[in-house]
Structure 1
Amino acid sequence: MLATITTIELLDHASELGEAIIQSETYLAYIEAKADLKADKEAQERIRQFNMMKDQYEEVQRFGKYHPDYDQISTNIRKSKREVDLTETVVAFKKAEKELESLLNEISGLIARSVSETIKVPTGNPFFDNMSCSGGCSTGGGCGCG
């Protein structure tokens, strides 16, 4: 591909956008939450335990309910997952991660719509992804997309 002035300008703008995202409060909150999670020894131990149980659970899943430890391991994995999910630093990290994802999805949507209204952009939510339409429905616009 030949590099034209337009292509170089486009790459420069993309680089500037990336820098703006990295300097945003949303990204900085994400980095801080990630560092807090990594430094939380209790959370890391709970995650380690959950990952060990996940390996056991996958082994039990091969045989399903016929495995002799199926009920016990299934109960233990749910309890372990709940412990991880209720850990304060995990909750904060997941919230920051979701906010960063929303920011990136919004930016992707703005870029796509500036090119064309019919470009499909994944939102990260399958419910809403399936609701959008790019003119391919057979209702003749009756779904509101047309």
Structure 2
Amino acid sequence: MIYDEKMLAIDDQIDQVLGAIQEAAIFRQYLAKKQLLTEDEAAVAAKRTFGEKKRRYEELQAYGKYAPGYQDSLKSVMQAKRELDLTPSVSEFRVAETNLQGLLDEIGGAIAGAIDEEIKVAAGNPFFETGSSASSCGGNCHGS
């Protein structure tokens, strides 16, 4: 790609957008929750426990669901995941992370929509959205 004056101007505008994002309350809240998460010993311990149980489960998973201890290991992983998810600093971080992702998705959608309303944008969910409609099937779905 050859960089001309227009590309350099776009690069400057990207820097401005990044600066605005970094000044936004959503971003500051994300950073604060991330810091609290890293300092929370209960969350660190829950994450470590989940990781260990997940590794053991993955070792058994290689042998199939009929391996001795498979079901117990699966239940243990699910319980450890639930404990991790219910740790207050983890759930608060995930809310802040989702809020920031929503802002980034909105910015990406606005940029894509300014170019062409039909551009599909990955918006932090398993479905692509277009600028004109949240439906990816153009209104011809069975659910419409």
* TM-score bucket of the superposed structures, by smaller chain: 0.7 to 0.9
Matches within 5 A, 1:77-88: 77-88=77-88
User: Which residue of 1 is the match for residue 125 of structure 2?
Assistant: 125
Give CA-to-partner distance per residue, 1:28-57, whole Å, 9 cap, x none.
110000000000001100100100111001
The gaps in structure 1 that reach 5 residues or longer are 134-140
Equivalent-residue separation in structure 1 for 2:87 and 2:80 (angstroms): 11
Equivalent-residue separation in structure 2 for 1:101 and 1:88 (angstroms): 20
Change (3 A) 1:78 1:57: same
Q: CA deviation at 1:125?
A: 1.4
Please say if residues 33 and 96 of structure 2, whose CA atoms lie closer than 8 Å, have aligned partners that are also in contact: yes
Pairwise CA RMSD of aligned residues? 1.8
Change (3 A) 1:128 1:2: closer
Change (3 A) 1:142 1:31: closer
User: Which residue of 2 is the match for residue 138 of structure 1?
Assistant: none
The gaps in structure 2 that reach 5 residues or longer are none
Please say if residues 121 and 128 of structure 2, whose CA atoms lie closer than 8 Å, have aligned partners that are also in contact: no
| 1:65 partnered with 2:69 | no
Q: CA deviation at 1:74?
A: 1.0
| Percentage of matched positions with identical amino acids | 38
Please say if residues 65 and 71 of structure 2, whose CA atoms lie closer than 8 Å, have aligned partners that are also in contact: yes
User: Which residue of 2 is the match for residue 136 of structure 1?
Assistant: none
Q: CA deviation at 1:9?
A: 1.0
Larger strand proportion of the pair: 2
User: Which residue of 2 is the match for residue 10 of structure 1?
Assistant: 10
TM-score (norm 2): 0.88
Change (3 A) 1:142 1:39: closer
Letter of the aligned partner of 2:33 in structure 1?
Answer: A
Equivalent-residue separation in structure 2 for 1:118 and 1:76 (angstroms): 45
User: Which residue of 1 is the match for residue 103 of structure 2?
Assistant: 103
Q: CA deviation at 1:128?
A: 5.3
Change (3 A) 1:60 1:28: same
User: Which residue of 1 is the match for residue 140 of structure 2?
Assistant: 143
User: Which residue of 1 is the match for residue 52 of structure 2?
Assistant: 52
Q: CA deviation at 1:15?
A: 0.7
